[in-house]
Structure 1
């Protein structure tokens, strides 16, 4: 279980998050929903260690941890960013394996096997030699998910996973997230789309813009 206790975050004099308490059960899906300015992405960025927490505590399986102070080989929360952030000069295989090779120090045989298994699972097996410019939005998203999963995170988080896709692809995204749930992955989804969130969420947390 991932737990947030009394989390506070400000930017200058502007209070973004006040005394936030959340519990995310192992293998469940939490959707954080609301309009821009409510702190949805800030919550995700704090959990991923990309923003500092002003005060409060984050716990995993009852043990406190600081997302900004993890060892290079550790990743608690893997993030699939809204714009995917794939490296344009690397093909799909290289995008997936770069971090395991450099951060996890995995042998080539290990990261190759893992990448091939992830590609098969995510429908990318025939695309490993393709470059990002050759992929559709949905394919890029699956590569971004594979890249995040290659670091063996405890939690997988998505920042607005449907915003960069055609509306017709949102059900495919929902199906993929639910497949991840069936495999036991704990997931956090940040979205402005309440209908999408209701399709997939075990737990909904709605934020409101700060005045």
Structure 2
């Protein structure tokens, strides 16, 4: 279970997150919904350790942790960013295996076996030798999810996963997230799409610009 207690974050005079308390049980989906400027992406970045908070406590299974100081071998939150941040010069397989080999010190064989299993789960196993420029938007997103999951995070988070997708792809992403939930993956979804959020989420957090 992931808990946030009394989280505060400001940029100068602008208070972006104020006195936030959240509890995300294992295997559930939290959707954070609201317009731009409400602090959704900032919250995601603090969970991923890319921003520091001004005050407050993060807890995983009752134990406090610092997202900015967690060893990557114990990654708590893996983030799938809106622009995917794939490595264009690496194949799909290499994109998935790079961090597990470098950070988790997995052998090539272990990393590749895990990558192939994830690719099968996400229906991209036929694309392992292709490069990002050869993939559709939906395939790139699945690759980004596989790459995040390869680091064995406790929680998988997405920043606007449906923002640039047509209705058919949006439905695919919806199904993908629900399939991962069925496998017990705890997920956080940041979105401006309330209908999408209500379809997938166990709990909703609505934010407003300050």
Same fold (TM over 0.5): yes
What is the distance in 2 between the residues matched to 1:19 and 1:40?
14
Does the residue aligned with 1:98 lie in a helix, a strand or coil? Answer: helix
RMSD: 0.6
What is the distance in 2 between the residues matched to 1:86 and 1:62?
34
What is the distance in 1 between the residues matched to 2:122 and 2:165?
17
Paired positions, count: 210
For 1:128, the equivalent position in structure 2 comes to: 128
Does the residue aligned with 2:73 lie in a helix, a strand or coil? Answer: coil
What is the distance in 1 between the residues matched to 2:66 and 2:53?
9
Which aligned pairs between 1:13-92 and structure 2 lie closer than 5 A?
13-92=13-92
What is the distance in 1 between the residues matched to 2:168 and 2:45?
28
What is the distance in 1 between the residues matched to 2:72 and 2:60?
18
Which aligned pairs between 1:50-199 and structure 2 lie closer than 5 A?
50-199=50-199
Shift in Å, 1:164: 2.3
Does the residue aligned with 1:126 lie in a helix, a strand or coil? Answer: helix
With the length of structure 1 as denominator, give the TM-score of the two structures.
0.98
- 8 Å CA contact 1:83–1:164 kept in 2: the answer is no
What is the distance in 1 between the residues matched to 2:168 and 2:154?
30
